[in-house]
Structure formats: C-alpha cells, structure tokens
Structure 1
Amino acid sequence: MNFKKIPKLKIGNLEAKIPIIQGGMAVGISLSGLASAVANAGGIGVIGTAGIGMLEPDFSKNFNEANKRALRKVIRKAKEMTKGIIGVNIMAALSDFYDMVKIVVEEKVDLVFIGAGLPLKGLEVLVPDNLEKVKTKFVPIVSSSRAANIIFQYWKKNYKHVPDAVVVEGPLAGGHLGFKKEQINNPDYALEKILPEVISVTKPYENEFEKKISIIAAVGIYTGSDIYKYIQLGAQGVQMATRFVTTYECDASIEFKETYLKCQKDDLIIID
C-alpha cells in the first residue's frame, strides 16, 4: 500500500488520518498512555474498561465505584495527552456496563466500542436527548451479519438512529466472541467471509439514513499487507490490539510485555 494513498478513516464527523483503531485491552493494558500515543500518531486510541479500577485502594471492597472513579481519571488524563481521537471499549456483559457508558457520554469521549453482547435495551435511559445529539459515537462489535442486523433493526425502531460504524471480529480475534472451537479454522466463519456479509447487511441502512456506516475489520491483523487486504475487501479501517502490547507506550508492566515476547504456540489457550 502506498503510504501517501492510505485512506483516512471517517466515523460520523470524526476523521482519523490513519485507518487504524487500537483495540481496547482491559485490566490495565490499554489506558491513557497507549490510547493517547495511538491518537497522536493519527489513529484512534482506545481505553479498555474491564477491571480499570484495580489500582484504586477500595477496588476489592467497592468494585463499581472504584471502576467509575478510575475511568474518569483515565479519560481525562488521555485527553490531556492528546488532541486526537479517543475511544473507550466496554463489554455489554459487565455488571457495571450502564454506569461505564454513562460516564463515557458525560465525559464526551469520541467513541464507545461495545462488545461481549449486543448494545440494545437501556441506551435510551443513558442518553435521553437522543443518541444522534450526543457527542459520543456508539460502535458495536459483532461477529456475524445476523448480530449486526439485530442491532440495526432495534436501533432503527427504538432510537430512530443507527450506529456510525461497526467493528467486525472473526474467530481468530482475541476476546469474548460467539464462536465455537470447531469454527475457529472453518472457512465458513473466516473474517474474509463475514466482512462482506456485514457490509451487505448495513448497506440498506446507509441508504435509508443517508449516512456512511464505516465497517472496521478486526482479527489477527498484524502487517501493512493485512491492512491492505481488508481495505480491498471493503473495510474502511482495521482494529489491531496485540500488535501494540509490547510497545514502550503500552500501559502494561514490563513483565507482562516480556511474557508476550517469550510466548510459544503451546502457551495459547482457547476457552470454550
């Protein structure tokens, strides 16, 4: 890919110079340091929220309050470190999901990425002024065209609005996915197959709502040629996470980074 011709990533009124989203990594891996560094480089930096309050003194006794307090601190610190685009990743399955979303909206974060579940009920309570008027862009993470269609149908009916972007994760992505072990290497579930299906499902909503819905590819993307491959398949950008773990800017400890570097194939575990 010619560097001068790398397409910009547009999500609503946001525009990233580099079409790369740094995937949110929880439990202190991607906080203000990594997210701001990626944003300063022209990409989209993302803060991971699960366990974000683990360094707060009352984390073990007051889990929810510690997480909420820490999230505000990390968001504000990231904003001090960059004028670029910052996002927050929240798992819908978390017990404090709604509290986390409310804080993200109040802090006027650019984007919120929602995975480990479908962002359906409850969002109208958090953003009563209508999602379209809120600064924060909501970006669901899906692993199938069916999941994407369910989200878009629900939002259309209940919010009169649809997401500005969708992250599409294939079975090789790290994280909380909906795939079974036997589907991981099955070509019928490969990102190369899922991505065009999600693009096809969202296209009618683009026409109906007269807006561009950016599709982000996310799975085992490691090199420039990987990025080029998925952009050629119709994605507007890519999401990469593991690639950033051993960088100087990553918020993880040096011991954690060294463990990554020493990791062997036999150390990888698939959780059913």
Structure 2
Amino acid sequence: MTQPTAGRWGDLRKRMLSAIVMVLIGGVAIFWGGLAFAGLACIVTGLMIWELSAMTAPDRVNRAILLGVIAALTLALVLFMHSPFFLALLILPPIAGLWRPRRDRRIFTVYALAMMLTGYGLVALRETQGVGAITWIISVVVVSDVAGYFVGRIMGGPKFWPKISPKKTWSGTVAGWVGAALLGVVFYMAGGGAGLIWLSPLVAFAGQLGDIAESWIKRRSAVKDSSTLIPGHGGVMDRFDALIGAVLLLLLIASFGPLPLTSAL
C-alpha cells in the first residue's frame, strides 16, 4: 500500500524551517571563524554529549547536563591553549561519564570521544584549511543527506541496513554518493584540488556511517530521537551525526598527509 503523501512529507516544513535557521547560524559562524566558530563548536559538542549521556543513563538527567557543560568547557580549554599536549584532555568528558552506572559504557566512551574529536577537528580544519574547506565538508554532508532523503522517499527499494536503520534505502544511499561526487566536481571547478572528486563521496559515505552509528545507539536506547531540541530534526546528534563520521575520516587522512585542497578554497 502506498504511503499517504501527508505522512511521507508531513515533517518537511518543520525540517526546512529548522534547516534555514541552522544554516544562517552556522554560516555566520563559519564566515567569521575565530571565537564565533570555536564557540559554536563547543556548544554543539556539549549538547551532543548531553544527549548521549541522557540516552545511556536516562535516570540521571542532571548529571547529563553537567557532563555536557564539562565537555563544552574542556573543548574550549583545548582550543584556547593551541598546544598538541592538551589534546589528551579531550578524553576527560568520556571518562567522567563513567563515574556512575551507565548502560553501554564502552559505546558511550568511544562515541563521546568521537564527538570531542569532531568538535576539535572542525575548528582545526577551519583554522588550517580555511572557510572554503569547512564549507565543502558541510556541503558534502548536507547534499548527501538531502539527496538520500528525497530519493529514498521517492524511489524506496531495498533497505541499506534494516536492523539498525530501517528507513535508509540503497537508492537513497547511492544518491548521496552521486550527489557528493557532483559537488566535488563543482568545488574542483571552483579551484579545489582534483582529489575532491573522489574524496567527496568517501566523506559522504563516512557521514552515512556516522548516521547509522547514531541510529544503532538510539535503537539500543529505545528512543526515536536523541532529544527534541530541533523541530523536525530531533536532537543535535540527529543533525550532526553524519558530520562526526565525515570529520573523523578527514582527520585520519590528514594524519597521513595533506588533504587534496588548495588555497583557492
């Protein structure tokens, strides 16, 4: 039976309005860089740690809020010190979350550390690679998500990983790769390195894996959304989960050599 149009697209208006607000806030912070972008990264990271903590220990809401604050302040300290010796402090919030009983303790620790590294990585990439590079990263994640959302809902078809993410289809997944590759071509024509053409779909795939990882955690926690902070999108984790996978991949590649970006970006 065909899904009713209202049910299929009923959340589109709220998603679009929320997306516009997020784009405006994020766009201004990315353009200004410096304290504006670093501050936004700290806030987003703290909110994600709070949501993860609340999902894995739902009976300790106040402690989850405190842990989110600790995460934001820790990331701010690491960014302020501008020294690789302080990177080890990023493990403190994940470890602090283990002081009390918690479900899926190992999963919490690994994912919380991934969030802290993502917050740091975004600011580091903005400072070293420039505004164009951050614009490219976020654009790849957004285009992949949007292409997957619309193509997946229109075409449907076999599920990508039904046990973990029952809504994701192969049609939407592949559409995300294609959209990212085309975006890589656009950035290459705008002055980026030729490597962006093959790197963009890889970043999109890493983002999709980040999305699936969060879906897996939510299923284990028996929740639909990480929170209700963003109308139409759920929580901050629900919106930025793909960015976690994308940024971690870029940090891994950057550890072996320079990214295929040019100063033109």
TM-score, length basis structure 2: 0.27
More helix by share: 2
TM-score, length basis structure 1: 0.27
More strand by share: 1
